[in-house]
Structure 1
Amino acid sequence: MKALGGFIIAAMVAGAIIPLTTGADSANAADQVVLTASDTAWTTTRQPTVPQSGLLSATATSDRTYLKFDGDALAGRQVTSATLVVKVNSTTATAPGLVAYPTSASWKSTSLTHDNQPGTTGSAVSQPSATAVKGQTLRIPLDVRSVATTGDFALALNYSQRYIQLRMERFNSDVPRIEVSTAPVSTTPTPAPSPTTPAETPADGPLVFAHYFVPYPLSIDNKTESTDYYTRNYLSPDGEGGKFASVGGLLRDRPISPGVSTSTTWRVDNFATEVRQAKSAGIDGFTLNLMSASGQNWDASVNLMKAAAQVGGFAVVPMVDGSSSFSSNTPETAASLLSQLYKSGPAYKEDGEYVLSSFKAEGASVSWWTQVINLLETKYGLPITFQAVFNNASDANFKAYAPIADGFGNWGTRTERTTLNSPDNVARAHALGKTWMAPVAVQDVRFNSQSWAEANNTASVRAQWSRAISQKADYVQLVTWNDYSESTQVAPSQDHGSAFLDLTRYYTSWFHTGSQPAITSDAIVLTHRTQFVDAKPSYSQSLMGAPALDGTSTPARDTVEALVWLPSAATVQITVGGTTTSFSAPAGVSAYTVPLKLGTVSAKIVRSGATAESVTSPYQVVATPYVQDLQYYAVSSW
């Protein structure tokens, strides 16, 4: 359409055409186009199977907003700048920032839920916004490559500050929009983007690493959740030709499916999603379990390093698995492979030296480690500091590895009792001039080996964090980020959403700063099993005996726990199977337990007669489960 003295671009805006005049005759003049979201949605871990209505919501991990746009109005134009505009309805934020990520546009607000939400398809396309303020508008510059000039495209939004809520306007004149500046497509080829800059490493100080177990990425085969490898082979008792049928299947939990990606780089993209998830909880990096020198597990290790470099601000420590085939390689082969990882960008350096770590350092000889370190330093020019993490942190292992290690750690215990009765390993290591990497695990249930430990809901993990903080450990290693075969995962998953990551976020902040975080709003983490310990499954399988994984006699228990954060005193109510129990709770962090019963589990915080916060578990407690599953499920109100 021709206009007086210029051109008109027709932008499709929520079903209406809005003409925007350039006011210039030159073919090179910039045009302004407003794209209003054609669909909006948000999801939450609090109701993982329910589409959400009302105001949009974005938090660090629990709530995510989705915006869809139609880019057809930009056809034949080059996007020179783009700014996302959203209106804040309410918030408790005190720091930047809303962040945008590219995601699939194959969703509808009427059916989108946390459980079927698409994963992000790349790194963030914006820097964190200015601090959100009630009633004000946020203007967020976007990477121009995030805006499609043909067809639909979509963005996913979360807020990087922890422990806050953010509600955004969704309808009428305040619907989110993107203001786009365009120019005619140039005939000059666009230069290829420069290589991704290496990720910066975290600042000095006490750091939190999460152990990454490469066999369990977000997706193994890029299929839908209902038909992917996890569903077919790991969660099904008869999967992989019945290999794990005698124990009811290899796994009981799995990563939240990222959906099917059309990108050729979906593996790296999925790892980038996990890096961002870990960063959102204050985790500084991954300790990367190296299991093999080739094949799927090695490829995954390389791809994770690429993803960490792309996201930035996240370190990776290569961690040789002393119980795997990787440590069976010659020192020459091991050093060559390690050198590839160290030169890829995000490998963590401490005082100018690359950190090398281990699972079960004693699984390889001192001589083998010595040769690997010497080759890395002399042949490849990579200065190395060795953090020897043992399966058994005995005096004998301390003595044997002290000449080659600058730091020690261990895989840790899994019960509250053994944690509280363990020696002061920080002091032991410091007495030898070594740093100490303290282990923290939420639980440990190993279906394949029929062994487990009673974690007493969150009592064990809280005790482990308390020891690491009070004894001033140099590092914490979360054991693990994603080992679903041992049920130690804190990564967002099918059976606990982001609840364990929410819990982790609180303690990483405390560990980093040395000061207990101030509590400014109510929150609940609710944990329970979905079956009694002595329940008999309908599937024919061998059953676990008493919990004795770490050599203790901590008895099994059937309890529901509400772990609460309260800015002021309140009443905590836990309802299980229709029975409600009330507790008077002081300000601060405290835990309350009641017996497990069949049916629905929920908890609420009541103050001055009104419900301040509540959460209902989507996981029902049943009398006859299909398979035995002694892991704790969790749900968070964050």
Structure 2
Amino acid sequence: MLGGLRIRRALTSVASALAVITLTFVSSLPTATPSAAIDVTARTGQVGATAGAFTDTKHRKSSHVTTGTLKVSKRFAAYLAFPGIALNSGEAVTQSTLYVTVKGVSHASKGSLSVRPVLSGWSGAKVTYKSRPQVGPVIGTAKLKKNGVVAISLSPSASSYLAAGSGLRITRVGTKYTAKIIARSAHIDYTIGAASALTEPQARPAPAPAVNNSTLAGHPVFAHYFPPYPISLDNVNGTGDYYATQYLLPSGENGKFASVGGLLRDRPLPRSPLSGDFQYTDMKTEVSQAKQAGINGFAVDILSFNTADRNWQLTVKLLRAAEADGQFKVMLQPDMTALGSVSTSSFAAAIASLAGYGSTYRDSNGAVVISPFYTEAKTPSWYADMLKVLKSNYNVNAVMLPLFLDASNMSSYASISIGFGNWGIRDPQAAATWTNWAAKAHSLGKLWMEPVAVQDVRPNQKLYTEAVNTDTLAATWNRAISQKADLALMTTWNDYSESTSFAPSADHGWAFLDLNEYFVNRFQRGSTSVGTEKLMIVHRIQHTSTPVTYSGTMSRTGLTGPSNKVQIVTLLKQDATVTVTIAGSTYSYTAQAGLFTKSYDLQPGYFTATASRSGATVLTVTTKDAASFDTTSQQDLSYHAVVAGR
């Protein structure tokens, strides 16, 4: 079984025109699937320094290369070169300690030694303060003594640097006094073990901020990515994979969700098995899909900082896939419903390990943007402390863009934030009456990230919100456009447990993304022009009153009452005649150019729509999922869709 119980998400319902936030639970979030273990025999070793040098801030062009005495202080920085540690497949440096000999240290009780890896491949050649190499995050610290050997335990994140033969830079921090170390006696004792034994995220060197490469122009649109539901969980054919045999069936996972008709109602578009690293390949596919739909990046829900956890591993592969693309960005959204007990130091270490990817989203100053889901789970001072640790220990500049469940908290977080967002609402009437949070954020001099959604149906929580076909999508986008939001967050790309997904899926194909792209163009460019003409049918496959064989049925939340309609959506360059067939009856109307919708009462069976001009068919589409009002063993109140014209 892939499941486990975790706090997941909050549903924003609206009563008496006020948003009421309720924390809910979702079960069965996939965890790491065990893979074949690689046998690694632990062994120890030692490498000695091959060269040494120090730089001087007061003599910026002077070089001091020596195997003798090196100076370290706020003014002086020492550099030590070491050979790389050879590793086999599946191995890592699991423990390492740097030993340096100090002598004649004045005020030894003050300050400490701080060690960072050298990133530019320095190996002992001439080095000056002016030409000093770039360094990475702090990987070790230790108190000083007046004379003798100081042992500096290096963090697990040092593994990749030691294997690559990166040099080390040593400084004395926390005091103005200088210490002296002997280069020739410096050495590293290490233990090699299985790479899987490392549980601390491995820090990558953060690239120098490059505004043109690391920020997005205009009004960026992100889609919230939920790692538990990638394209494939097990790289099995779609008819026999975990989605098909477990998540979608009422009897799946040993009947764990039988009382609510099964965990999910929809899934990603199935595919055939892939060779190689299928998870990475799937991530590249999802990046490509999002880009095709005009989306600028994913906002990834970070559920764990444990590197052995599959959700963390998929997050890293997503960053790699986006980095390979070169333009697509990934905003970091640590999920504070799952990470509420994490310390500021662990939080900072994890963010630092992700900050080195070129795909990590940054602001116009090159600072990493951190957008915690349910930000208000921690105090502003907690995040302020975390940002300080991130800077002091890892040399990573970061800014906050809180994603609230209750945006009325924004004033309290203004001093540490560049902007704000809210998880949002899911029904059209609420969208029309909800607070103008963009105006409030702008009054504080901050950016606003508006949530946009297509629907919200949660069988396992026994709740649904009435979206009225595509009306919620239109209403939430109209808020973003009319209230002049600075960026938008699509909630969500792929959370199938809440039926909020925009991603290409078995139930709605590309229809939601195709319609969403029209609104993206309006939001970013003010354009209402139509590129490729499209014809869509959006419908439920059951009536909201269809009898169900079990008691755990869904209750409606939100302001909008139940709706049972078949909606025809057209995106046209010119007017066209649309003919619709529903339950043997035929209807006809003129669809105007641009975006146009028309609704009819939901009936059992399949539906067909055809757009024509001057008697010639332009587009035609037939639903693939039949509607039925018969008693069902699986209640499904989500909207299905088909599209022609892709």
Residue 477 in 1 paired to residue 483 in 2? no
Query: Which of 628, 638, 645 is the equivalent residue of 1:631?
Result: 638
Residue 542 (str. 1) matches residue 548 (str. 2): no
User: What is the CA-CA distance between 1:200 and the residue it aligns to?
Assistant: 4.3
8 A contact 1:581–1:594 mirrored in 2: no
Shift of 1:201: 3.8
For the 8 Å contact 2:518–2:530, the answer to whether it is kept is no
* Conserved 8 A contact 1:288-1:317: yes
**1:159 matched residue in structure 2:** none
Cross-structure match for 2:185: none
Number of aligned positions between the proteins: 433
Residue 201 of structure 1 contacts residue 314 of structure 1 at CA under 8 Å; is this kept in 2? no
1:606 Cα deviation from its structure 2 partner: 2.5
Consecutive unaligned residues of structure 1, counting only runs of 5 or more, are 1-194
Q: How does 1:194-593 map to 2 (within 5 A)?
A: 200-201=213-214, 203-263=216-276, 265-294=277-306, 295-324=309-338, 326-351=339-364, 352-394=366-408, 397-516=409-528, 518-519=529-530, 522-537=533-548, 539-545=549-555, 547-548=556-557, 550=558, 552=559, 554-593=560-599
Q: Distance in 2 between matches of 1:254 and 1:353?
A: 35
The 1-side partners of 2:236 and 2:575 are apart by: 48
Contact 2:322-2:328 within 8 A present in 1 as well: yes
CA distance in 2, matches of 1:541, 1:345: 50
Give the secondary-structure state (helix, strand or coil) at the position aligned to 2:227.
Answer: coil
Change (3 A) 1:262 1:520: closer
Aligned residues of 1:222 and 1:260 also touching (Cα < 8 A): yes
Are the aligned partners of 2:226 and 2:300 in contact in 1 as well (CA < 8 Å)? yes
CA contact (8 A) 1:202 1:284 kept: no
Matched letter for residue 632 of structure 1:
Y
- Relative to the length of structure 2, the TM-score reads 0.65
Q: SS of 2:552's equivalent?
A: coil
Deviation at 1:511, TM superposition (A): 1.6
Counterpart-to-counterpart distance in 2, 1:330 and 1:520? 49
Letter in 2 for 1:576: I
Asked whether the 8 Å contact 1:578–1:600 carries over to 2, the reply is no
What is aligned with 2:159?
none
Per-residue CA distance 1:354-396 (angstroms, 9 max, x = gap): 11102111122223222222211221111112101111112xx
Deviates more, 1:578-587 or 1:494-503: 578-587
Q: Could you tell me the TM-score, scaled by structure 1's length?
A: 0.66
Separation (CA, whole Å) in 1 of partners of 2:587 and 2:217? 46
Give 1:212 deviation, angstroms. Answer: 0.2
State the alpha-carbon separation in 2 of the partners of residues 202 and 541 from structure 1: 50
What residue is the counterpart of 2:60 in the other structure?
A: none
Structure 1 residue 338 displacement after superposition: 1.0
Q: Is the 8 A contact 2:300 2:333 kept in 1?
A: yes
Equivalents in 2 of 1:540, 1:270: separation in Å?
A: 36
Q: Identical aligned pairs, as a percentage?
A: 40
User: Can you give the 5+ residue segments of structure 2 that lack an aligned partner in the other structure?
Assistant: 1-204
Cα distance change of structure 1 residues 258 and 339 upon mapping to structure 2, 3 Å threshold: farther
How far residue 344 of structure 1 moved from its aligned partner, in angstroms, is: 2.2
Q: 1:248 is matched by which residue type in structure 2?
A: G
Check the 8 A contact 1:202/1:314 in 2, yes or no. Answer: no
Supply the AA of the counterpart residue of 1:342: A
**Which digits, 9 at most, give the CA deviation of each residue in 1:437-477, with x for residues without a partner?**
00011000011111110001001101111121122211100
1: CA distance, partners of 2:535 / 2:513: 13
> In the TM superposition, what whole-angstrom CA distance separates every residue of 1:267-325 from its partner, at most 9, and x where no partner exists?
1111110000001111100101011122111111111111111122100011011211x
C-alpha distance in 2 between matches for 1:558 and 1:618: 18
Does structure 1 conserve the Cα–Cα contact (< 8 Å) formed by 2:494 and 2:503? yes
Letter in structure 1 aligned against 2:553:
L
Moved more, 207-216 or 362-371: 362-371
2:407 aligned counterpart, secondary structure: coil
Which structure's CA Rg is the greater one?
Answer: 2
